[in-house]
Structure 1
Amino acid sequence: MQQQPQQQPILERELCFLQDLTAKLASREIDLPPFPDIYAQIIRTLHDPNISIQDVSRMLVAAPDLCVRILLLANSALLNRSGVKVTDLNIAVSRLGLSAVNSATVRLATKDVFQVPKGSSLSYMLNKTRVESVRVAAYSYLLAIRSGMGNDKHDAMLAGLLHNIGTHYILSRADEFPDLVSKEIMDNWGPGIGQALVSNWGFPESISAAIDKQNELLLETEEDTPDIRDVIICAKLLSQAESGNEDLETDYSRIPSCRKLDIDESNVSEIIETYAEEVASFVSALK
């Protein structure tokens, strides 16, 4: 009984926080800061069907940090199967392709958009989710290839990068409620908020839908062939297993997405070991 006066304000603040998120999600009026201008210009340029590699490279020069990331990506084990190092930006863009350059741009843009106050207790959580998004993106790209979805590998990578963008939003808005941000809140609210954000940004519906349903592990679908949602679910499970955060109760045989991608308890460790160098190089390039 003596604790009641202390608990009530916390419950009221939590309710206020959740009501604010609910209202914005329901109305789709999410208070989203715009992408930094240079990144928005690059993304628009990348979607121009008449753009040339040279035009893209010239625009990238205006974003030095992005140039560095593009070169690191082009030399990563994930995207540089030949092992030949490049230092020329034109060659790097040509090697990666515009879809991968777009993913790198989105990665840095979202990093700039969602921030928390310096020294905040939320900084660790935000950085952790950012690294997780890059690792899931790498697994998504590789799993798309492994499962015969090569044509969708770049969309799978982009979906991986954006899969926890709703969590980024929650953390960036939670500086007044740092003690109220829990895994449960992020798991329950993050996908829906992420779906709304990605839709508002104009990304393909296949990506926003995958983000929205990413936590519905037991959802059965009529399709026998895997889609981006299946890839994201499996990529998250592999990332969790790699980082030691895997739920010991996970039964891969009960998860339809794992069955579609031929992933089970007997080969998870083998898949992680096979992809280790490529995933690590991608994370190093984009974290």
Structure 2
Amino acid sequence: MDRLEALKRIAAQANRGELTFPTSVDATLKLQRALTDPGCHLEAAARLVQAEPLLAARTVAIANSVTFNRAGIDVTNVPAAVQRVGFRTLGALAAAVIVRQLDSGITDPDLRAKADQLWQHSAHVAALAQLIARRVSHVDPETAMFAGIVHEVGGFYLLSRAEEYPGLLDGDPADWIEHGEVAIGRAVLRKLDVPVPVAAAIEALWNGMRALPPETLGDTLQLADDLAPERSPLHERPGATDIQSAATIDFAVGDGTLSRLLADSAEEVRSLTSALL
């Protein structure tokens, strides 16, 4: 079977809902749903988070990042971290754990390197989207961060299946965009119960639709994707240059410019990105 046939087969399976996930993903999905239950209180949420070591570590790290720790007072336990970041951020962090679990079974060194690079890209996009939402587009920052975390989830699923099909990722990266990204991405987003507005923003990213200055969640996500210093190893977005920066994407933001905002917020973005990694 050649690589295009393999890609089309994986996409067709995904479109039919035939997704192969590690068992750990189902467990974390249950945890994520429990966290979003209106009846889940702070103490119960803390217990749920403590039961998942990776989520617990990420929650404390995020709570101590510049974005959530303006006073510079670090927390050292999960209950305090949960109280500081709130339930909606917890949901985004649970999604981050799920995304990483998708590639947990990869053993091939080249695929492992691609998965790690894709997560670095996703973490940068999530941090930038949170900042742009809060300071520029004024959409919900936590939703923007969540969208950044899951926007490449179809790519992670593809990488998780690539060892079954040698050579799957060889050749033109445009093949992934044409034959797999939308079908696989939509199917995985459905499996993860990603809310419709977030899925729509990711679809806008796939289609390359954006307004500047950003106004919607989709605009916010695409601008963050373009500005991310770590690129996706699977493809470049249509119309994006190899090197995107505030020098090539700039516009007025209040009394300043996007480039000034990014420069002034560099430590905040770095801290949030590091916490997600």
User: Normalization by structure 2: what TM-score?
Assistant: 0.82
Q: 1:228 to 1:44 in 2, by over 3 A?
A: same
RCO greater where, 1 or 2, for CA within 8 Å and sep 6 or more?
2
Looking at structure 1, the residues matched to 53 and 242 of structure 2 have their Cα atoms a distance apart, in angstroms, of 43
Q: Relative to structure 2, which stretch is displaced further, 82-91 or 189-198?
A: 189-198
Say if 2:43 is the partner of 1:45.
no
* 1:69 and 1:286 in contact (8 A); partners too: yes
Deviation of the 1:251 alpha carbon: 11
How far does the alpha carbon of each residue in 1:74-132 deviate from its partner, in whole angstroms, 9 at most, with x for none?
Answer: 00112222221111322211110011111111111221133353243211111100111
Matches within 5 A, 1:1-287: 12-33=1-22, 35-150=24-139, 152-181=140-169, 182-188=172-178, 189-218=180-209, 226-240=215-229, 247=241, 267-287=257-277
Q: Which residue of 2 aligns with 1:5?
A: none
Give secondary structure in 1 for the equivalent of 2:91.
Answer: helix
Q: 1:19 to 1:37 in 2, by over 3 A?
A: closer
Q: Relative to structure 2, which stretch is displaced further, 195-204 or 99-108?
A: 195-204
* 2:210 and 2:218 in contact (8 A); partners too: no
Looking at structure 1, the residues matched to 231 and 176 of structure 2 have their Cα atoms a distance apart, in angstroms, of 21
Q: 1:286 to 1:241 in 2, by over 3 A?
A: closer
Looking at structure 2, the residues matched to 106 and 230 of structure 1 have their Cα atoms a distance apart, in angstroms, of 21
Aligned residues: 266
How far does the alpha carbon of each residue in 1:178-209 deviate from its partner, in whole angstroms, 9 at most, with x for none?
Answer: 53415323444324422221123212101111
Q: 1:242 to 1:199 in 2, by over 3 A?
A: closer
Give secondary structure in 2 for the equivalent of 1:203.
Answer: coil
* 2:4 and 2:168 in contact (8 A); partners too: no
* 1:191 and 1:211 in contact (8 A); partners too: no
Deviation of the 1:225 alpha carbon: 7.6
Give secondary structure in 2 for the equivalent of 1:214.
Answer: helix
Q: 1:17 to 1:225 in 2, by over 3 A?
A: same
Q: What letter is aligned with 2:6?
A: F
Give secondary structure in 1 for the equivalent of 2:65.
Answer: coil
Q: What letter is aligned with 1:201?
A: L
* 2:121 and 2:231 in contact (8 A); partners too: no
* 2:102 and 2:160 in contact (8 A); partners too: no
Q: What letter is aligned with 1:233?
A: Q
Looking at structure 2, the residues matched to 247 and 225 of structure 1 have their Cα atoms a distance apart, in angstroms, of 19
Give secondary structure in 1 for the equivalent of 2:205.
Answer: coil
Larger Rg: 1
RMSD of aligned residue pairs (Cα, Å): 3.3
User: Normalization by structure 1: what TM-score?
Assistant: 0.80
Q: What letter is aligned with 2:81?
A: A
Q: 1:275 to 1:203 in 2, by over 3 A?
A: same
Deviation of the 1:145 alpha carbon: 0.8
Deviation of the 1:218 alpha carbon: 4.5
Deviation of the 1:249 alpha carbon: 8.6
Q: 1:28 to 1:262 in 2, by over 3 A?
A: farther
* 2:50 and 2:56 in contact (8 A); partners too: yes
